[in-house]
Each structure stands twice: as C-alpha cells, then as structure tokens.
Amino acid sequence: MLELLRNIQIREREDFETLPGSAGPACNADEICARARERFAAAKQTGLTALIAEKSAGLRSYDPPAMDRIVAILPWGRSGSLLLASYLDGHDDVLMLPELGGRRLYEFFYRYRDLPLGDKLLAYPFFDEDDTHFFDGDFAISPRQYYAAVKAILASSHRWPADFLQSRRAFVIFVHIAYRLALGKASAGRRPLIVYAQHDWNIEKARQLVEDWPQSLFIHTVRDPVSSCSGMFGALRDGIASAFPPPCALAPYFALLWLTGRDRQQAGTETQSVALRFEDLHRDPEGTMRAVCSRLEIPFQPALLDSTFNSTPYVVKKNGVAWSGRRPQQIGRQSPYLSRRDRALLYALFRENFEQWGYSCPDLFKYRIVRCAVAVSLFLVPMKTEILSAREVLKLRIGPAMRRAEIGPATKSTLSIILVRLRIMSLLIRGVFGRCALRRELLPVLPGTPARIPDAPSVSQKPPVSEWPPAWLPSQFFDRNP
C-alpha cells in the first residue's frame, strides 16, 4: 500500500508538470509554413503595396527595442483572468492579443526558432487555432491586414539590430505590433505595455519571460477556493480542454491538483507577482482597475471599465444568461458541484488561502489539529465531484462497453475511477498535513484592494437532508450558507 501511494505521489508531480495546455500540437516547420501560405494567398492580390505603406507609417510610432514593459496574467482555477485582460483591452497604451491568443508564443518560438522572423510571424496564427483565433471567432481580424502588417515590419527590419530581430523577445513584440497594426489602432506611446496571456503556471515559461523582460510583472487572478474548485471541475467536466473529453474520470483530481500547486509565485518571480481577486473585479471594477494601473504604472482611463477584446464586448454565457463585464451575482460563494463535507475538506486544505486572500472561513479551521482531524475523518469518503464523474463514466462508457461485451474498456474505465479516488486521497492527506507542518508562501494580494472580501450570499445548491455530515459533527466545521 505504501509503495502504491509513493507511486501515486510521483505520478502527481508528473501530472502537474503536464496539466492541460502545457504543450502545443505537433507540426513540422514545412507544414505550418505551407498552411500559412495557403491562408494568405488571397492577401497577395492587387492593392497590397498601398496597404503595406499604410502599415509602415503606423509602425514608425513604435520603438520595438525599447519596449521593456510586459505583464503576464495567470488564473488560479476559474478566477477571471480573461475578464481582467478584457478590461485592459481598451487602454491606448496597451498591446495585447484577445483571449488566449498569446498563450503559445514561447512554445512556438522554441519549436520553430530556426525560421526567419517573417515566417514566424505568418505561421504563429496557425500553431494552435483553438487558442489563437486570429482570423475567426468573435474577435477575428482580417488576414489581409495582418499579412500587410508583417510585410511592413520586414520592410523596416533594417532599422533594428540583427541580434534583436533573431531574439525571442523580438518575436513576441512583433506579433503584438503586427496584430495592432492589423486592427488599424494607434498606440499612445512608442513603448506600450504588452499584456501576455501566460495562463499556464509554468516555471520555465516564467523564467524565459523574466530573461526577456527583467522588470516583467505577473498578476495571478484568484477566487474563493470553494467557488474556484467547483468552477474548475465544471469546466473540465464540460470538456474545456481536449485532454478532458466528456465524460472524464480525471476531472475531479485535476480540479484539485490545479489549485494545490498554483497558489504561489513561480520560482524567480517572487518580488514580481501579486494576486488579484475575481470578486473585486465584479464588486468594484473601477477601484480595482485603478489599483492595477498603479501597479502597472499606466494612467487610469474610463475605457478600462469596459470588458472588450478588439473593442468588441467580451460576452460570457452561462446557464442561459449572457453578460459582459461587471456582474454582482458572481461575487457570492458558488459550489454546485461540492457537498458540505467537500467544503469542509477545502477549508482544511486551503485555510491559509482563505485567510491571506481575505475570504471567510469557519474559525475552527485556524487550529491545525482540527484541520488534520477533518482530513483524516473525511478523506476516505468520495467527493461529490467524483460521484458525478463516476456516474457519467458508468452511463457513457462502462454501461455501453458491457452491453457490447467489451470487458477490456469497461475494466479500464472502472480502474480509472478507483485510481482517481486513490490520487485524491493522497493529495488531500499530503496537502493538509504538509500545509499544517510547513509555512506556505502564498501570492500576496494586490496593494490598493480591500483587505477582505465582504460576505455575500451563497448561491450554492442546498444538498439533500440525508446527505453527509452526520449530526454528531459540530456545525461550525461548515459554512453557514450551504
């Protein structure tokens, strides 16, 4: 049994290093360049000379080698990282790619670093079209405009040092400039701030960013741990990543793993990282964005209160409701996929997060003995997320496989449910006891935002009367709004 748990612990480290989104699709240089040539074939038609001249005129307002400001945005679970980016979209001294358009920049450069700069700029939009969405989706730009912008950059490349043009930093800068020129929008300054959607908590990617921009900043959006865990499971359950096609027995495990390993600074960024609460973005967007502007050293502008990408409203749809920007209903604690016992486990596991980030947590959990006792008494019982996933796997995989007399697939799916249970048991026990034994350095909250989040009504679903916990366990272990 000890050997089994040891193997699970080793596998957890491997899982964390390869969480969904950590690697781009496999495609050789010839294939991706051929895809780009095919897509831009129509852009080479007549009239391109005048368009390139127009882009060249816009390019002269930038000083690429002097662009030394960048901020990376990362989420802790489901915590509003895209909402923060959408607020920054309207600032006239900011360059950014919409949604997760810049997420693969460093992976792309690593794989195709031998390509000339022009080929890199033209090929990047086709590296991972599930993320980039340069030429399709709600925030699409014109391929012809982008192609002309790249050609304008190449025509002016003699103005900059050769070693700079071949650098990773230049590639990131020119992708953003080409995109901005394609939009036809001017920048307020010659060295605008770049907003980079790092998204993935990745030490190597952060190290490269700091190498390229020594003064880079990292803003990690965070959320009430209960809401974040429930939301993360819901997203994985719905197939947010290709690695999690529904139904997926691993979704409950990865939802927890994502949170337990990403609530601290990436190595080497300790003095450059802050946490920004999701609830602040909905409760007081103006005050919050003023604090963000102060940290980024850019002036506040009224456009920062509009949630947009490419000046188009960023609309969120959930449960048949659509909204853009601030929505006070998002502030309350939300846990439709968690039971009361699950919330008790999260209080025990993330006590430091609740306290340092200003979220309410039952007072009893400040005692380490209580946290350890709750973990020991509850970790054997499957979480509600596990039960929901197991039901879907049983209905959509195991049941059909048994009806077709396919014993192998049915056995494999059954074993995956058991393995997830063992991994979660290991994660919970090691997480609670480890955090109780050793002080954990968490992300500091952004200065200028409130010390605590005011209590808001819970919007979680009330569990059935027959559900755990038993009557003998003190009610103080659980939140008062189940």
Output the pLDDT for position 320. Answer: 87
Is it the case that residue 467 has pLDDT exceeding 50? no
Q: Using CA of residue 375, residue 377, residue 378, residue 382, what is the dihedral sign?
A: positive
Output the pLDDT for position 130. Answer: 74
Continuous segment of H or E residues that includes residue 116: none
Is it the case that residue 240 has pLDDT exceeding 70? no
| Residue 5 main-chain phi, psi, to 5 deg | -65, -35
Output the pLDDT for position 147. Answer: 96
Name the DSSP letter for residue 112: T
Output the pLDDT for position 186. Answer: 85
Output the pLDDT for position 18. Answer: 42
Output the pLDDT for position 458. Answer: 59
The three-state secondary structure class of 455 is coil
Return the structure tokens found at 27.
Answer: 């495609």
Output the pLDDT for position 379. Answer: 82
Higher-pLDDT residue of 16 and 402 is 402
Taking only the tens place, the pLDDT of each residue in 346-358 is 999 999 999 999 9
Quote the CA–CA distance of 70 and 212 in Å, as a whole number.
Answer: 10
Q: Which of 377, 261, 179 is nearest to 13 (CA)?
A: 261
Give the Cα-Cα-Cα angle 174, 175, 178 (nearest 5 degrees): 80
Q: Using CA of residue 83, residue 173, residue 175, residue 192, what is the dihedral sign?
A: positive
Output the pLDDT for position 360. Answer: 94
Is it the case that residue 471 has pLDDT exceeding 60? no
Output the pLDDT for position 453. Answer: 79
Q: Mean pLDDT across the stretch 13-35?
A: 63
Confidence band (pLDDT; 50, 70, 90) for 265?
very high
In 368-406, which positions are buried (b, 16+ CB within 10 angstroms) versus exposed (e)? Answer: eebbbebbeebbebbbbbbebbbebbbeebbeebeeeee
Tokens 């008790």 sit at which residue? 344
Q: Looking at this protein, which amino acid is placed at residue 406? A: E
Is it the case that residue 481 has pLDDT exceeding 80? no
| Residue 11 main-chain phi, psi, to 5 deg | -65, -35
Is it the case that residue 370 has pLDDT exceeding 80? yes
Q: Mean pLDDT across the stretch 28-52?
A: 88
| Residue 326 main-chain phi, psi, to 5 deg | -65, 135
Q: Helices 2-17 and 251-260 meet at what angle, rounded to 10? A: 70
User: Strand pairing partners for 308?
Assistant: 313
Average pLDDT along the chain:
87
Q: Mean pLDDT across the stretch 392-415?
A: 91
Confidence band (pLDDT; 50, 70, 90) for 117?
very high
Higher-pLDDT residue of 248 and 435 is 435
Output the pLDDT for position 3. Answer: 47
Is it the case that residue 193 has pLDDT exceeding 70? yes
| Residue 226 main-chain phi, psi, to 5 deg | -65, -50
CA separation, residue 168 to residues 28, 203, 282 (Å): 19, 17, 36
Is it the case that residue 16 has pLDDT exceeding 50? no
Confidence band (pLDDT; 50, 70, 90) for 476?
very low
Is it the case that residue 114 has pLDDT exceeding 70? yes
Output the pLDDT for position 158. Answer: 94
Output the pLDDT for position 459. Answer: 55
Taking only the tens place, the pLDDT of each residue in 319-335 is 889 999 999 999 999 99
For the chain, residues classed under CATH 3.40.50 are 24-328
CA separation, residue 382 to residues 410, 415, 422 (Å): 21, 15, 10
Output the pLDDT for position 308. Answer: 96
Output the pLDDT for position 470. Answer: 38
Is it the case that residue 195 has pLDDT exceeding 60? yes
Q: Mean pLDDT across the stretch 160-168?
A: 95
Is it the case that residue 106 has pLDDT exceeding 50? yes
Quote the CA–CA distance of 265 and 273 in Å, as a whole number.
Answer: 6
Domain 24-328 fold: Rossmann fold (3.40.50)
Confidence band (pLDDT; 50, 70, 90) for 439?
confident
Burial (Cβ within 10 Å: 0-12, 13-18, ≥19) of residue 459 = middle
Confidence band (pLDDT; 50, 70, 90) for 242?
low
Taking only the tens place, the pLDDT of each residue in 141-158 is 999 999 999 999 999 999
Is it the case that residue 7 has pLDDT exceeding 60? no
Confidence band (pLDDT; 50, 70, 90) for 28?
confident
Output the pLDDT for position 232. Answer: 92
Quote the CA–CA distance of 267 and 265 in Å, as a whole number.
Answer: 6
Q: Mean pLDDT across the stretch 370-377?
A: 93
Output the pLDDT for position 468. Answer: 36
